[in-house]
Structure 1
């Protein structure tokens, strides 16, 4: 029998959740609001909340100065491409770690995760030189490779967690029916783990979309994604806050819309296997 929750506790929990949600959302709200101000209004003291001259001039200027759609397409190719390549590698790897007995599985997983603890700047110079010699600088292919390697430990960790929730008996039954390794992964394991795979895909697209360090250091113009598009509005003369806010709004809008429409699938995947 479920324990009754008092009204006071419900009110407190709801208020706390709304407070945290608003605190997290406020920077996005303020960025969007600032994007409709003039540069003078953007730095006004005290800040202007509603009583200002609403304008779309910043968006027009941003599009005229920088080709937004070219940067947007680069972000789509780099984030989706790196995630799909990562999934192709991670699904068999996570299957092997989850269903093939091995004493060193945990050690391998921890070693993979430890690579995320390395400061990226520590390998910037050698990676830059390798990319320069291979002709991968300022190319979408180069960024897809880098972001795949960066996010691969997270993808494998997440898929391993989801695969461990799938009963081994189902896979053994498929093997007894004559399913080979390829068919077992494609037609038995993958369909059962669709919620987990979908949430992994969505989260890693977001991570790749927001990656700034590597995109700023390994691109110049041709393959520059939206992170470089935003950074172009920071100059030695100062920050153009209104135009920077407009560029930021245009950069985060696609990923916010994707997250909004896929939130049910995302939550389902994150809670996959939590309740039996």
Structure 2
């Protein structure tokens, strides 16, 4: 029990906003006592918003176009922090790009679905309809493990000193704040799937499809309060990953750029894809 309490306190110290999520579940007297503390008030207050993120240019790496973002302070839920500079792909990873990965790694092909399901890496929907899909559409029906495997493969082609990965939730949110205003690819009459990335209109800094089209995997484990961009949670890791941005199947007005949700890391659905982040090897 002592180790459990110590781990819980360490997690709260790393992510104080956890207290906000816990408060409604406490007995009334305990909740009142917690909410009366100066510490809770400081955590639950809304600090000043940091300055808007700034794009610093573009880079093409391993055949993918990246928007480069200057590092700086960020806001994610109640958390405030500092991000190093990074790049985020202008578009979601496509069917054609993922097909090149599969050609070199047949262990991730649809033919290997049963073994991947048995290993907890994907679900039964993995790569459904992949062979019939438009090569310029966002790749869908991919789990977080499959997306990360793609990023590791792509990292063999990364510029010196860099690697590819999924963005942290903090990075995704930071990038989404850099290029406004933005229209979304959301549900409308006649729409039955995502729009090819080549047909999307970029926002003011060059991103396509951040709002709608497909939900996008982040690298983080899910927490009710965003965990300050930490990749996973050391003490209490979650089986659910974070997805951001909404999809073509969401009604307008239901999702926006702050929309987030939990998804089992093995989920492979028609509404879910990813885009790649470019980070320094030390990050």
User: RCO (CA 8 Å, sep 6+): is it higher in 1 or 2?
Assistant: 1
Q: TM-score range by the shorter chain?
A: under 0.3
**What TM-score comes out, normalization by structure 1 length?**
0.26
Specify which structure has the higher proportion of helix.
1
**What TM-score comes out, normalization by structure 2 length?**
0.26
